[in-house]
């Protein structure tokens, strides 16, 4: 990797079959108020015109880097981008999303002002056509020194039993220090092997980060796409429950090995329950016959490991679990 350039932000954008959204996504970076940027487009084996759009945008804009690779998924595409990143800072942008004009400036200013190694902002949820659906806004918080690893990271994993205090675990809408990533060879797992690759990356990153902050800015535009087949979050997956339990086991073992206590492990449990909602709700998508869907739900309900987690979870401690604006 080339020498890291001070003050530059590397914006890594994995690209796969997003010809409808790609130009708006890239233009939203090029028109940022923060100008010291490089845009890294990683074409992950697109079969539509996305690759050609990447090449055209690169010819028109010298700050754009384009890498074409064989399809291997989102996590590994981000890793390819990290190999090329020369910025002092790194952020990630999904190729069907957009940045509003002050997104990078807001993250950068907060990180510099608070002298921390991580910054997270909220987002606007928008329709396919860009119309605003909802706002997810956090209160400004600073986690100094070790508090980032001990207090902020657990909240990225999930809420406590007593309240809704989680912070979005996604790496988009977040700013990282590139030297921490490169010096410790931090990379994403493949989501095909371990779902929620963002959580895994954040756990590794926070073992080295000195401080973090959360800001009230909502300048990231998260696009809710209505074509369900295009979305990892809403497309039917026959292995969703198995993948959910695999992630739970990984997180439980990882946080135990790292020395995190009962509070964090309960957050891992609650993360499991959140993911479980998707496992059950997808059975109502009418993708499989009703009888088969009911059998899947029955198998989930009878899963021994899941029932052990449910039995030991302190439901009597549950406070107000109604999601608030700015929480998940």
Distances (CA, A) of 166 to 32, 57, 152, 271: 29, 38, 9, 10
Sheet holding 220-223, edge to edge: 98-99, 220-223, 123-126, 132-136
CA atoms within 13 A on the CB side of 166: 24
Cα–chain center distance at 191: 11
Of 313, 317, 246, residue with least CA distance to 275: 246
End-to-end Cα distance, the chain: 36
Residue located via tokens 């604006």: 325
In a 3-state reduction of DSSP, which class is residue 66?
strand
Instruction: Report pLDDT for 78.
Output: 98
Percent of the chain past pLDDT 70, that is, above it, reads 93
Taking all residues of the chain, what is their mean pLDDT, rounded to a whole number? 93
Cα distance between residue 119 and residue 90, in whole Å: 11
Crossing angle of the two packed helices 240-257 and 197-206, in degrees rounded to 10: 10
Residue 270 near residue 323, CB atoms below 8 Å: no
Instruction: Report pLDDT for 2.
Output: 65
Of 125, 162, 267, 136, residue with least CA distance to 214: 136
Tokens read off for 321:
């679990």
CA angle 67, 39, 62 (to 5 degrees): 85
| Strands 123-126, 220-223: pairing kind | parallel
Instruction: Report pLDDT for 230.
Output: 47
Instruction: Report pLDDT for 286.
Output: 85
Which residues pair with residue 126 across a beta bridge? Answer: 132, 223
Crossing angle of the two packed helices 304-312 and 240-257, in degrees rounded to 10: 50
* Rg of the Cα atoms in the chain: 20
Residue 106 near residue 219, CB atoms below 8 Å: yes
The yes-or-no verdict on residue 281 having pLDDT over 80 is: yes
Least-confidence region, from 40-49, 219-228, 240-249: 219-228
pLDDT digits (tens, 9 = 90+) for 157-207: 999 998 899 999 999 999 999 999 999 999 999 998 998 999 999 999 999
Q: 317 falls in which pLDDT band (50, 70, 90)?
A: confident
Of 78, 89, 83, residue with least CA distance to 188: 78
Q: 326 falls in which pLDDT band (50, 70, 90)?
A: very low
**295: which residues sit within 8 A by CB, 6+ positions away?**
none
What are the φ and ψ backbone dihedral angles of 114, each rounded to 5 degrees? -95, 0
What are the φ and ψ backbone dihedral angles of 187, each rounded to 5 degrees? -145, 165
Cα–chain center distance at 25: 17
Instruction: Report pLDDT for 160.
Output: 94
Percent of the chain past pLDDT 90, that is, above it, reads 86
């Amino acid at each position: 990797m080339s020498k890291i350039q001070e003050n530059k932000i590397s914006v890594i954008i994995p690209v796969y079959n997003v010809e409808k959204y790609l130009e708006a996504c890239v233009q939203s970076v090029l028109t940022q108020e923060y100008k010291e940027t490089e845009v890294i487009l990683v074409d992950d084996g697109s079969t539509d015109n996305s690759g050609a759009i990447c090449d055209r945008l690169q010819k028109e804009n010298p700050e754009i880097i384009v890498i074409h690779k064989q399809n291997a998924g989102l996590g590994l595409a981000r890793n390819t981008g990290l190999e090329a990143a020369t910025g002092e800072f790194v952020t990630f942008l999904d190729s069907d999303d957009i940045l509003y004009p002050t997104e990078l400036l807001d993250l950068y200013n907060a990180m510099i002002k608070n002298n921390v190694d991580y910054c997270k902002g909220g987002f606007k949820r928008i329709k396919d056509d860009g119309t605003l659906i909802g706002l997810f806004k956090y209160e400004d918080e600073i986690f100094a020194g070790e508090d980032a690893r001990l207090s902020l990271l657990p909240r990225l994993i999930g809420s406590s039993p007593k309240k809704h205090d989680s912070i979005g675990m996604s790496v988009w809408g977040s700013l990282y220090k590139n030297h921490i990533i490169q010096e410790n060879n931090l990379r994403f797992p493949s989501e095909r092997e371990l779902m929620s690759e963002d959580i895994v990356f954040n756990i590794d990153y926070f073992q080295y980060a000195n401080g973090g902050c959360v800001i009230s800015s909502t300048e990231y535009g998260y696009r809710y796409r209505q074509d369900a087949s295009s979305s990892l979050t809403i497309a039917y997956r026959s292995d969703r429950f198995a993948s959910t339990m695999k992630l739970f086991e990984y997180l439980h073992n990882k946080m135990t090995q790292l020395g995190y206590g009962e509070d964090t492990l309960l957050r891992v449990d609650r993360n499991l329950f959140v993911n479980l909602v998707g496992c059950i709700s997808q059975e109502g998508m009418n993708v499989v016959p009703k009888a088969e869907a009911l059998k899947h739900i029955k198998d989930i309900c009878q899963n021994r490991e899941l029932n052990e987690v449910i039995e030991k979870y302190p439901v009597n401690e549950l406070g107000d679990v109604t999601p608030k604006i700015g929480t998940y």
